[in-house]
Amino acid sequence: MGRAMVRIIYREIAGGAAFWGPLAGLGLLILVGLYSAWYMEHYGHIVTGMGNRIVWGIPHVFAIFLIVAASGVLNVASIGSVFGRVPYKPMARLSGLLAIALLTGGLTVLVLDLGRPDRLIVAMTTYNFKSIFAWNIFLYTGFLVIVAAYLFVLMERQMSPYSKPVGWFALIWRVVLTSGTGSIFGWLVARQAYDAAIMAPLFIALSLSLGLAVFILVVWTICRWEGRELGSGLLSRLGRLLGIFAGVVLYFTAIQHLTNLYSAEHWGVEAFLLWDGGVYPGLFWLVQVLLGGLLPIALVFHPKTASKPGAIVSAASLVILGGLAQLYVIIIGGQAYPLVMFPGMEVHSVFQDGVIASYAPSLPEFGLGIGGVALALAITLVGMKILRFVPQSLADKTVDPPPAAAEAKAA
Amino acid sequence: MNKLGDTERPEVADAREQTDVSRRAFLRAASALGGLALAPGVTLYAFGQEAEVRPADQAVTSQHRWGMLIDAGRCGDGCNACVTACADEHGWDADAASPTDAHWIRKVELRDPEGGLKRTLPMMCQHCASPPCVDVCPTGASFKRADGIVLVDKHTCIGCRYCMMACPYNARSFVHEPLADQKPYAPRGKGTVESCTMCVHRVDEGRQPACVEACADTAGGAMLFGDLNDPDSEISKRIASYATVEIRADLDLDTGVRYRNI
């Protein structure tokens, strides 16, 4: 274990315009988000594109993206603490900070999209434990506490022996947490597009790929910004892992749809999502599968691009784009397809029975969602400014030195 | 009310309807008197129809399970009597057709593409014995009364709409904008979810739900309300005597609303 002896030096990010400028920009977006929330709360959800058929809209796409990514971004720390992979250890602190920041952003969007956000105290004090939503309230708040404790043992040198057990605990917690997020949909027996146990592992796979993609973008941006070295070997390593995760997402997606295609009762919804459902098949095949799945996998594994930072960063961006499309198809597409109450019959009513529900997201919905992303990034930025989250260097020779060099340095 | 599933000559039906109206008037008076004159919880069985006044200080029990039986064969094409009665009773707009407008009950038109057979029927909360909306509600605002009526507690609903995702019947509406002129017995609130209450305020007074009453008064008498727990009730007898169906019976939710002739 001589390699672990290399001393990693962490440093706060610099102040000045390079800090305050972006923070001011994010602050502005947060204000836009808050104004959007107030606007929706004041006038009611009539000002959104949502209705009685599409009850969860763009805010949920953003919120679930952030929550799922929050769980997955902590995987970088887990790989270091739990699985003992040395090159990941220097990135563990940033991974924990991002987990807290993304979850906070996601939960804020979720809460502000409630019909009665003022009743948050009711949600925190009155529980129905048969509801996976109620469990998620505990899983999410518990996650924040656990990651805070994890960061403490990672950052306090005397506590470092505890990083492995705490890391294990955090790993198990986030597996449960993301299973809970997937089961929000998986346990909905009423709807053709949901009601599937595979939602839990699919969301776990999605969390790993989205979380890592966010991590790659943030760490690359910070290192460039601060002039800190980011080893191309390390970046390629992260890229390859991203490629594997993106492949796992494609695998679960394929199994999900193939299983549905096998049973005649699901042909309608599958035809809708994969073939003739307007915007949804386009988002699925073009954005989710091609741009967000196959292309990034090619970029991180193809010999010509695998070692190029630009390709890895592009792959991460594409995975995020694909993930947003996937969540849009799952959340909005799943609701747009009508409930099947009378199989085999043509159904019609004033309440949109039997027809595809239309959804046109409104500006306040985007405002709220983007405000949540901005909040997550602002928390990350401020965190990195006041505490030592980011190593001074993530050069290959620093994070993954050859054994001889490490021993020499340690001596 | 004794028309469901049977074929009657129009004059007989009219005569029966007259009787029903006078019987309802009697029941209303009896219910009002009952609260004053009778011991709490006494059941008034008038002409074989159950009608119980539940004093406000007495808890609901599982002695009764209220339900409905709807005969789609008697439900008139183009008839909207149940919908307008519900809208008038609870203060929502029956004619509104925007996706953001509430519909506690709606008429659903069915057409079999093989042969073109048409049916129409009212669709609303099915008051399931195992309601998915109650299961998923994080705060317990969606709840089922001991007598089987599924309701939303407007004080603890946070407006997350998860129940709307979970309902197999699209039976719930979200209040998308501020409301005015609400009925005191049917409070509604912007940002909360609502659905058919089976006219719980009427049921507690020993009266019939507004839709059932309107259907009997002005339409085909396709709706029958009653106690599914009482083997002697009209609804139980009918369910025992001919085949009825639950919508989405595959989910095994044991709905309180059953249909015939779909």
In chain B, % of residues over pLDDT 70: 81
Q: Is some CB atom of chain B closer than 8 A to the CB atom of A195?
A: no
Q: Is some CB atom of chain B closer than 8 A to the CB atom of A262?
A: no
Residue of B nearest to A46 (CA): B176
Q: Do A131 and B136 touch (CB under 8 A)?
A: yes
Token reading at B7? 């074929």
Partners of residue B192 in chain A, C-beta under 8 Å: 115-116
Identify any residues that bridge with B143 across adjacent strands, giving them in sequence order: B151
pLDDT band for B27, please (50, 70, 90 cuts).
low
Q: Is some CB atom of chain B closer than 8 A to the CB atom of A127?
A: yes
DSSP H helices in chain B: 10-37, 81-90, 132-136, 162-166, 200-203, 210-218, 234-241
Write the residue in B138, B174, B247 that is nearest to A115 by C-beta: B174
- Give me the residues of A, 130-149, that contact B with CB < 8 A: 130-134, 137
pLDDT (tens digit per residue) in B42-57: 333 333 345 578 888 8
Partners of residue B100 in chain A, C-beta under 8 Å: 45-46, 50-52
Q: Do A345 and B113 touch (CB under 8 A)?
A: yes
B58-260 has which CATH code?
Answer: 3.30.70.20
Domain ranges of chain B: 58-260
Write the residue in B103, B134, B192 that is nearest to A350 by C-beta: B103
CB pairs under 8 A between A and B: 173
- Give me the residues of B, 133-162, that contact A with CB < 8 A: 134-140, 156-162
Q: Is some CB atom of chain B closer than 8 A to the CB atom of A124?
A: no
- Give me the residues of A, 145-184, that contact B with CB < 8 A: 184
Q: Do B110 and A345 touch (CB under 8 A)?
A: yes
What is the reported pTM? 0.90
Nearest to A411 by CA among A9, A89, A10, A5: A5
pLDDT exceeds 70 at position B28: no
pLDDT band for B19, please (50, 70, 90 cuts).
very low
pLDDT (tens digit per residue) in B125-145: 999 999 999 999 999 999 999
Q: Is some CB atom of chain A closer than 8 A to the CB atom of B128?
A: no
pLDDT band for B5, please (50, 70, 90 cuts).
very low
Identify any residues that bridge with B173 across adjacent strands, giving them in sequence order: B194
Token reading at A305? 């691009």
pLDDT (tens digit per residue) in B192-206: 999 999 999 999 999
- Give me the residues of A, 40-59, that contact B with CB < 8 A: 41, 43-46, 50-56
Write the residue in A119, A130, A342 that is nearest to B158 by C-beta: A119
Nearest to A115 by CA among B80, B95, B139: B139
Nearest to A380 by CA among A34, A102, A28, A29: A102
Q: Is some CB atom of chain B closer than 8 A to the CB atom of A35?
A: no
Can you give the pLDDT at residue B15? Answer: 46
CA distance B243 to chain A (A): 17
pLDDT exceeds 80 at position B12: no
CA distance A113 to chain B (A): 8
C-alpha dist (Å) from residue A93 to A97, A168, A288: 6, 15, 30
Can you give the pLDDT at residue B8? Answer: 42
CA distance A261 to A259: 5
| Regions in chain A scoring below 50 on pLDDT | 1-4, 406, 410-411
Q: Is some CB atom of chain B closer than 8 A to the CB atom of A265?
A: no
Q: Do B176 and A350 touch (CB under 8 A)?
A: no
Q: Do B247 and A41 touch (CB under 8 A)?
A: no
CA distance A151 to A166: 10
Write the residue in A51, A131, A348 that is nearest to B100 by C-beta: A51
Identify any residues that bridge with B20 across adjacent strands, giving them in sequence order: none
pLDDT (tens digit per residue) in A179-236: 999 999 999 999 999 999 999 999 999 999 999 999 999 999 999 999 999 999 999 9
Q: Is some CB atom of chain B closer than 8 A to the CB atom of A263?
A: no
Partners of residue B99 in chain A, C-beta under 8 Å: 51-54, 352, 357-358
Q: Do B137 and A132 touch (CB under 8 A)?
A: no
CA distance B20 to chain A (A): 31
Partners of residue A43 in chain B, C-beta under 8 Å: 177-178
CA-based radius of gyration for chain A: 22
Q: How many CB atoms lie within 10 A of CB A17?
A: 9
- Give me the residues of A, 293-352, that contact B with CB < 8 A: 335, 339, 341-342, 344-352
Q: Do A345 and B112 touch (CB under 8 A)?
A: yes
Q: Is some CB atom of chain A closer than 8 A to the CB atom of B173?
A: yes
pLDDT exceeds 60 at position B261: yes
Fill in the DSSP letter of residue A227: T
Contact B57, B103 (CB under 8 A): no
- Residue B95 has φ and ψ, to the nearest 5°, of -90, -10
Partners of residue A45 in chain B, C-beta under 8 Å: 100, 174, 176-177, 191
Q: Do B168 and A44 touch (CB under 8 A)?
A: no
Lowest mean pLDDT among A199-208, B55-64, B73-82, B241-250: B55-64
Partners of residue B117 in chain A, C-beta under 8 Å: none
CA distance B222 to chain A (A): 19
- Residue B127 Rama label (left phi>0; alpha psi -120 to 50; beta): left
Can you give the pLDDT at residue B244? Answer: 97
Can you give the pLDDT at residue B39? Answer: 42
Can you give the pLDDT at residue B10? Answer: 46
Residue carrying the six token digits 């003992």: A84
Identify any residues that bridge with B110 across adjacent strands, giving them in sequence order: A347, B119
Partners of residue A365 in chain B, C-beta under 8 Å: none
Residue of B nearest to A126 (CA): B139
Q: Is some CB atom of chain A closer than 8 A to the CB atom of B185?
A: no
Can you give the pLDDT at residue B57? Answer: 87
Can you give the pLDDT at residue B43? Answer: 36
Partners of residue B161 in chain A, C-beta under 8 Å: 55-56, 115
∠ CA B104-B92-A35, rounded to 5°? 100
Fill in the DSSP letter of residue A37: H
| Four-point Cα dihedral B180, B182, B188, B194, nearest 10 | -110
CA distance A136 to chain B (A): 9
CA distance A150 to A134: 24
Kindly provide the ipTM of the predicted complex, given to two decimals: 0.94
Q: Is some CB atom of chain A closer than 8 A to the CB atom of B99?
A: yes
pLDDT exceeds 80 at position B158: yes
Q: Do B168 and A131 touch (CB under 8 A)?
A: no
Can you give the pLDDT at residue A268? Answer: 96
Can you give the pLDDT at residue B32? Answer: 47
Q: Is some CB atom of chain B closer than 8 A to the CB atom of A120?
A: yes
Q: What does the mean pLDDT of chain B come to? A: 86
